[in-house]
A and B are shown apart, each in its own frame.
Chain A
Amino acid sequence: MKAILFALAGLLAVCLPASATQCHVNPVTIPKEWVTMHRNCRMSMRQQIQMEVAASLQYLAMGAHFSKDIVNRPGFAKMFFDAASEEREHAMKLIEYLLMRGELTTDVTTLLQVRAPERKTWEGGVEALEHALLMESAVTKSIRNVIKACEDDSEFNDYHLVDYLTGDFLDEQYKGQRDIAGKASTLKKLLDRHGALGEFIFDKKLIGIDI
Chain B
Amino acid sequence: MKVIILAVSCLLAVSGALAADTCYQDVSLDCGQASNSLAFRRRSLPRCNAVYGEYGRHGNVATELQAYANLHLERSYEYLLSAAYFNNYQTNRLGFSKLFKKLSDEAWEKTIDIIKHVTMRGDEMNFDQRSTLKVERKNYTVELHELEALAKALDTQKEIAERAFYIHREATRNSQHLHDPEIAQYLEEEFIEDQSKKIRELAGHTTDLKKFITSNNGQDLSLGLYLFDEYLQKVV
Residue numbers in A under 8 Å from B87 (CB-CB): 96, 99
A149 at the interface (CB under 8 A from B): no
* Given A109-B81, A109-B140; A25-B222 close (CB under 8 Å): yes
Of the listed stretches B26-34, B110-118, B171-179, B196-204, name the one at the interface; the rest are far from the partner chain. B110-118
Asked if residues B84 and A64 are in contact (CB atoms below 8 Å), the reply is: no
Interface string of A98-127 (1 = CB under 8 A from B): 010011111011011010110010000000
Residue numbers in B under 8 Å from A81 (CB-CB): 112
Which A residue's beta carbon lies closest to that of B223?
Answer: A25
Residue numbers in B under 8 Å from A96 (CB-CB): 87
Asked if residues B74 and A114 are in contact (CB atoms below 8 Å), the reply is: yes
Interface string of B140-154 (1 = CB under 8 A from A): 111101111000000
Asked if residues B218 and A85 are in contact (CB atoms below 8 Å), the reply is: no
Complex alpha-carbon distance, A65 and B126, angstroms = 10
Asked if residues A69 and B119 are in contact (CB atoms below 8 Å), the reply is: yes
Interface string of A64-108 (1 = CB under 8 A from B): 110111100000010001001100100110011001001111101
Residue numbers in B under 8 Å from A116 (CB-CB): 127-128
Count A/B pairs, Cβ under 8 Å: 106
A161 at the interface (CB under 8 A from B): no
By secondary structure, the B interface counts as helix
A55 at the interface (CB under 8 A from B): no
- How many interface residues does B have (CB within 8 Å)? 44
* Given A61-B127, A69-B50, A108-B84; A21-B115 close (CB under 8 Å): no
Asked if residues B108 and A85 are in contact (CB atoms below 8 Å), the reply is: yes
Within 8 Å by CB of A109, from B126, B141, B145, lies: B141
* Given A88-B108, A109-B143; A64-B115 close (CB under 8 Å): yes
Q: Which size class do A's interface residues fall under?
A: 35 or more
B185 at the interface (CB under 8 A from A): no
Asked if residues B80 and A92 are in contact (CB atoms below 8 Å), the reply is: yes
B207 at the interface (CB under 8 A from A): no
Q: Name 15 extra pairs, CB < 8 A, besides A63-B115, A102-B88.
A: A22-B221, A23-B213, A23-B221, A24-B221, A24-B225, A57-B127, A60-B115, A61-B127, A64-B119, A68-B124, A69-B50, A69-B122, A84-B112, A88-B108, A95-B84
Interface residues of B (CB under 8 A from A): 49-51, 73-74, 77, 80-81, 84-85, 87-91, 108, 111-112, 115-116, 118-120, 122, 124-128, 139-143, 145-148, 213-214, 218, 221-222, 225
Instruction: List the 10 closest pairs (A to B, CB-CB), nearest first.
Output: A24-B145, A116-B127, A64-B125, A69-B50, A67-B119, A108-B85, A23-B147, A105-B88, A116-B128, A25-B222
